[in-house]
Amino acid sequence: MAKRKIRSVVVDEVAKMRATLKNLLNDFSTIEIVGEAADYESAKELINSTKPDLVFLDINLSGFTSIELLDEITCKPKVIFITSRKEFAIQAFEINAVDYILKPVSSDRLKNAIDRVTEFKKNAKAMSNSDPAERFKPDQIILLNFDSKLTFIKIQDINYIEAFGNYTKIYMNDGKLSITYNSIKNWDNRLPSDVFIQIHRSSIVNLLNVAKIEKWTNDTGRLFLKGIEIPFEISRSYFFQIKKKYKI
């Protein structure tokens, strides 16, 4: 059975740039171009009508920034920004962009970004289709993406996990960071419950790395991980569950 292609849209004001990008994308068998747009309004209409999996998006669109456009579309495609402007990179990643590529675009750079999209889809499918009872073991090895490079890691070497929009940030004991297209709920269903604990709707921590827990205001708590000065908030409901489960 043939794998479903990544339905993609190309958005750029410059016709020559759209043509160049489409030509580069022809080399990727996983990509299917379902449309292109040259300005803000046509891009919004195209994305809303085709509901693509992925959008290759320039920053400049008819006097607007395409970051504003993402607030007006009715679907949530993955986004790879392709632009000549460096100054929007941080803002782009804050809204969960898969990648931020500066022009001129190389085939290798494009491949790294598309590989990330493919890996996110695989991780999300594997996690969402798994049996909640089928938890990882602490010494189990999985693959995570670090700076566009897949690396084998042990579950027990995860320090903490934070929600990041539709993604999650996985912080390792050695300080490395991986961003995956996944949810806190899916991670909580798969992580070994004797090692990891959810303390807030947006965070999970490794119990082996906890330095101390203390009461805070309004029946909430604060948790300190070894080597990290800033405490983590424990919400009221999770603090109650922690005390009930662990307090002697």
What would the DSSP string read from start to end of 191-226?
S-TTTEEEEETTEEEEGGGEEEEEE-GGG-EEEEET
Q: How far apart are CA 84 and CA 25, in angstroms?
A: 19
* pLDDT at residue 247, rounded to an integer: 77
C-alpha dihedral sign at 129, 132, 138, 140: negative
* pLDDT at residue 4, rounded to an integer: 83
10-residue mean pLDDT profile of the chain (248 residues): values are: 83 95 94 95 94 94 83 87 84 75 92 84 58 78 83 95 87 93 87 94 95 91 95 91 81
Which class would CATH give 133-246? mainly beta
* pLDDT at residue 164, rounded to an integer: 86
C-alpha dihedral sign at 97, 100, 105, 106: negative
For the chain, domain boundaries? 6-127, 133-246
Q: How far apart are CA 191 and CA 196, in angstroms?
A: 6
* pLDDT at residue 96, rounded to an integer: 64
Burial class (CB in 10 A: 0-12, 13-18, 19+), 187: buried
* pLDDT at residue 37, rounded to an integer: 96
Topology alike, domains 6-127 and 133-246: no
Q: How far apart are CA 242 and CA 88, in angstroms?
A: 41
Q: How far is CA 42 from CA 78, 94, 97, 106, in A?
A: 18, 25, 21, 27
Q: How many CB atoms lie within 10 A of CB 9?
A: 21
6-127 CATH, one of 3.50.50.60, 3.40.190.10, 1.10.3720.10, 3.40.50.2300: 3.40.50.2300
* pLDDT at residue 74, rounded to an integer: 85
